Chains A and B, each alone.
Chain A
Amino acid sequence: MLTDKVAVVTGGSRGIGRAIALSLAEAGADVAIFYAGNHSAAEETVAKIKETCRKAAAFQVDVSRSDQVEKAFKEVQSSFGQVDILVNNAGITRDNLLMRLKEAEWDQVIDTNLKGVFLCTKAVARSMMKRRSGRIINISSVVGVIGNPGQANYVAAKAGVIGLTKTTARELASRGITVNAIAPGYIETDMTSVLDEQIKQQMLSAIPLGTFGKPEDIAELVKFLASDFARYITGQTIHVDGGIAM
């Protein structure tokens, strides 16, 4: 389905990004993952991707830093070739109620979760434009649509990703590049495993389908959006959240 395509997945060493990287590789793509700092997780994911007999490598990148992003994409291009699929998945949380939210916490989350999407998109846009093809898939969040107390920074960034997705989709549509966002609900990952039991129960009661999602639920949709089957879909935000937002 994606044979010999080159994919970059940011935040690809763990959680949703890891599942995305594996699913793209299973569909035939070579996959470069960007990770922030967890070497062992990145190496483990690369080893796992290689089991699919596809090419894989991990690059340590702070996606909020343009110099690091540009350098990493150059390295990807020289060892993998031109990027066909970009999945902007890297994200962090620094939760706090607005009144207690520090400026640094605001900046860190906006820089990684929103500016990072801009920088990585900018890095691949020109080469995709020239080749008249490409797929950009941004991971937003259901909270970017409905809001969430204690996550003003994260919500603002994730809502920003939806706006950025629509604008990028419009700018690049004439060159056959599609740009879409996915808004996951509560997915079981390291990021959500730290939540306490009471909050988890509260979350479950807000999910019509009654269970948390799995990283694979997101990965399957990424695989579809990256494929030719999704050629006529662009600028959309697709919810994978068990029905939280309707």
Chain B
Amino acid sequence: MAAETLERVKKIIVESLNVDPSEVTMEANIKEDLGADSLDVVDLIMELEDEFDMEISDEEAEKITTVGDVVGYIEKNK
């Protein structure tokens, strides 16, 4: 399950941040390792909301720093 979620998340991150798929590991920090700025993060959160048909509150979004956090949040809340 988590593997399938990771694949979907990976695809969105690759497209939205224009990074190489190999960089998108569970440990990768979205801002520091993948080079996202605050606008990229907002855009990414909105993409994820659309893809997984869920709403991610600002408080929750602030806690997300790594790709693993994203996958974990989606697994827990879908």
Show the binding face of A for B, using Cβ within 8 Å. 126, 129-130, 171-172, 174-175
Interfacial chain A residues near B43, Cβ < 8 Å:
126, 129-130
Whether B37 sits at the interface, judged by CB under 8 Å, is yes
Q: Would you call B37 and A126 a contact (CB within 8 A)?
A: no
**A171: nearest chain-B partner, CB-CB:** B39
Interface residues on B, range: under 10
Interfacial chain B residues near A172, Cβ < 8 Å:
39
Q: Would you call A174 and B37 a contact (CB within 8 A)?
A: yes
Interfacial chain A residues near B46, Cβ < 8 Å:
126
A130 to B37, CA, bound (A): 13
Interfacial chain B residues near A130, Cβ < 8 Å:
43
Name the prevailing secondary structure of the B interface residues: helix
Q: Please report which residues of chain B, range 24-43, place their CB below 8 angstroms from some CB of chain A when the two chains form the complex.
A: 37, 39, 43
A171 to B43, CA, bound (A): 13
Closest beta carbon of chain B to A179's beta carbon, Å? 14
Interfacial chain A residues near B39, Cβ < 8 Å:
129, 171-172, 174-175
Closest beta carbon of chain A to B28's beta carbon, Å? 22
Closest beta carbon of chain A to B56's beta carbon, Å? 15
**A125: nearest chain-B partner, CB-CB:** B39
A157 to B19, CA, bound (A): 42
Interfacial chain A residues near B37, Cβ < 8 Å:
174
A129 to B43, CA, bound (A): 9
A175 to B38, CA, bound (A): 12
Jot down 10 A-B pairs with beta carbons below 8 A, ordered by A. A126-B43, A126-B46, A129-B39, A129-B43, A130-B43, A171-B39, A172-B39, A174-B37, A174-B39, A175-B39
Closest beta carbon of chain B to A229's beta carbon, Å? 26
A172 to B40, CA, bound (A): 11
A109 to B46, CA, bound (A): 31
**A175: nearest chain-B partner, CB-CB:** B39
Interfacial chain B residues near A126, Cβ < 8 Å:
43, 46
A106 to B6, CA, bound (A): 50
- The 4 A-B pairs of least Cβ separation, nearest first, read A129-B39, A129-B43, A126-B43, A175-B39
Closest beta carbon of chain B to A172's beta carbon, Å? 8
**A172: nearest chain-B partner, CB-CB:** B39
Closest beta carbon of chain A to B51's beta carbon, Å? 15
A175 to B43, CA, bound (A): 12
A130 to B43, CA, bound (A): 9
Interfacial chain B residues near A129, Cβ < 8 Å:
39, 43
Closest beta carbon of chain B to A170's beta carbon, Å? 11
Interfacial chain B residues near A174, Cβ < 8 Å:
37, 39
Among the interface residues B39, B43, B46, which one has the most CB atoms of the partner chain A within 10 A?
B39
A174 to B39, CA, bound (A): 9
A86 to B46, CA, bound (A): 22
Interfacial chain B residues near A171, Cβ < 8 Å:
39
What 8 new A-B contacts, CB under 8 Å, besides A129-B39, A174-B39? A126-B43, A126-B46, A129-B43, A130-B43, A171-B39, A172-B39, A174-B37, A175-B39
